[in-house]
Amino acid sequence: MGNKKGKKKQEVKKQKEKNQKIEEMMQREQNNLESEIMLLVLGTGDSGKSTFVKQAQLLYKNGFSEKECDRFKKAIRKNLIIHMKLLIRGSYDFGLELKRSNERRARKFLDIDDRSGLSEKTIISIKKLWKDSTLKEVFEKRVNLQIPDTADYFLDSLERIAEENYSPTNQDIINCRIPTTGINELQFQVSGYPWRIVDVGGQRSERRKWIHHFKHATIVLFVVAISEYDQYLFEDQNINRMFESLELFHNIAKKGTFVKTDFILIFNKMDLLKKKIKKSTPKICFKDYKGGHHASEAKKFITRKFLKVGKSKKRKVYPMYTSATNNLTIQNTFDKIINTVADNLM
């Protein structure tokens, strides 16, 4: 009888010790959560969110692992085939004719499997097709063809990328477009604080996953592609990308979860705005725009549009301007972000 009581006491004692350890662990996790700075990166697809995360990895995590480089290598080579197909189809859409020597080559190229890799025959075809002035013209007119802005960067680098021992450079990785699916997180230490950057897919189908990461965000970084006022969604060719971004920002800003959460509005692709404004202006989607072909006026006008829907007495909204593929510009942007967050924590 005494042995049974003794065993029971030991079991109770062990359970208490176990419960105490669990409580201590939960407390430590809570303390870490409270001291951690979570930067929630939001925005529509193709705004440049994931490029920011990749730049942060280069700045604060010593770059990319061998496994990650291999993943980007496969994506870059696959994208070369996809980009060329988009250019060929674009020439048909515009009613433009390729050189006679390339017409048959272009039709046959459309039958290539995107996953087949860069065979010698495929490399020769891409090289000859990309030299065709018609496809260069298509690239310049790519606004509604869903051709990435960096497609020419990779097509111009075909020979290097096709080499057997090719390994992506940091700039290759920064320029590589892989749509974010699910949730990507990056953790690092800076300015004496643990940081966590959370990046989630910007496509409409991915946005339902965002809600689970709203609660503990220290600050929200909303990325806007400031040059996309004349482009339309991949998912819906009838919806202007700038309208979609503005509406999404408005919906996020008015959520109860963010009543007291500050925002950093990153207006990305400033370099492309300066090029595009010479040919087209934000009047394409904003009838009240009167700034003409001036990048500075377009910048101020679009900024006002977003600040108007995001303003609140209980939070601040900080506009910043950058080009996420430019290493020097992005370094300055991250310095501003870190300083802004540090000031808010004081």
Q: Give residue 29's pLDDT band: very low, low, confident or very high (50, 70, 90).
A: very low
Number of domains in the chain: 2
**pLDDT given at position 310:** 87
Q: State whether 78 and 104 are in the same domain.
A: yes
Of 138, 157, 175, which closes a domain?
175
CA-CA-CA-CA torsion sign (237, 242, 247, 253): positive
Q: Which domain-ending residue is among 153, 175, 197? A: 175
**Domain CATH for 88:** 1.10.400.10
Q: Report if residue 18 sits inside a domain.
A: no
CA nearest to 76, candidates 142, 145, 181, 151: 151
Lowest mean pLDDT across 1-10, 87-96, 295-304, 337-346: 1-10
187, pLDDT greater than 50: yes
% of the chain at pLDDT higher than 70: 86
279 and 318 inside one domain:
yes
The parent domain of residue 133 ranges over 66-175
Residue 28 belongs to a domain: no
CATH (domain of 210): 3.40.50.300
240 and 302, same structural domain?
A: yes
pLDDT score, position 68: 95
CA distances from 167 to 54, 200, 239, 298, 326 (A): 17, 27, 38, 39, 20
Q: Is 319 domain-assigned?
A: yes
Strand (E) positions, 88-239? Answer: 183-190, 193-200, 219-225
Does pLDDT of 13 surpass 50? yes
Residue 168 lies in a domain: yes
Q: Same domain, yes or no, for 49 and 191?
A: yes
Instruction: Please report how many Cα atoms fall inside a 13 Å half-sphere around the Cα of residue 193, on the Cβ side.
Output: 19
Q: What is the pLDDT of residues 230-264, one digit of tens each?
A: 998 877 778 899 999 999 999 888 877 888 889 99
- The model's confidence at residue 30, banded by pLDDT at 50, 70 and 90, is very low
Same domain, 95 and 109: yes
On whether both 210 and 328 belong to a single domain, the answer is: yes
Residue 250 within any structural domain of the chain: yes
N-term to C-term CA, the chain: 62
Residues 139 and 89 placed together within one structural domain of the fold: yes
pLDDT higher than 60, residue 154: yes
Are 145 and 209 contained in the same domain?
A: no
The answer to whether the beta carbons of residues 125 and 118 sit under 8 Å apart is: no
